[in-house]
């Protein structure tokens, strides 16, 4: 399974650049294999990303902004979802990956 992070390498927005760097830096630091998919220089990547972000996750203008994260074809989430999963220590679950051996796994207990 390959994690795909859709980024815009030539984005003029510093906010988008910071979010992209945070996602990529976290994945690299934790040795999680991933591919960066540039939507600025590759129309096919941009089209695929826009078509595969679920409708309820798209902003009102309908155009999702990078970074967007997928596990192969399965949508994981955007930066806000990634950040929440990181803060809640459920990043492997968010990414659809098994945690590495020896990793403490946080489990949530849902009210019934």
Cis before 67 (ω within 30) = yes
What pLDDT is attached to residue 105? Answer: 56
Give 50-71 as a 3 state SS string. Answer: HHHCCHHHCCCCCCCCCCEEEE
Given this model, what pLDDT does residue 102 score? Answer: 75
21, 82 Cβ separation under 8 angstroms: no
pLDDT along the chain (112 residues), means of 10: 94 94 98 97 96 91 93 97 97 95 61 52
Coil, helix or strand at residue 103: coil
The pLDDT value given to residue 101? 83
What sign results for the dihedral spanned by CA atoms 62, 36, 19, 107?
positive
Taken in order of first residue, the domains within the chain and their CATH numbers are 3-95 (3.40.30.10)
């Amino acid at each position: 399974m390959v994690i795909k992070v859709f980024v815009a390498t030539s984005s003029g927005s510093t906010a988008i650049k910071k979010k992209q760097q945070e996602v990529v830096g976290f994945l690299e630091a934790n040795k999680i294999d991933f591919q960066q998919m540039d939507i600025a220089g590759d129309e096919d990547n941009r089209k695929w990303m826009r078509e595969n972000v679920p409708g309820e996750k798209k902003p009102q203008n309908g155009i999702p902004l990078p970074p967007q994260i997928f596990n192969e074809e399965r949508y994981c989430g955007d930066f806000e979802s990634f950040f929440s999963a990181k803060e809640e220590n459920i990043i492997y679950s968010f990414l659809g990956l098994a945690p590495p051996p020896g990793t403490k796994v946080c489990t949530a207990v849902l009210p019934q």
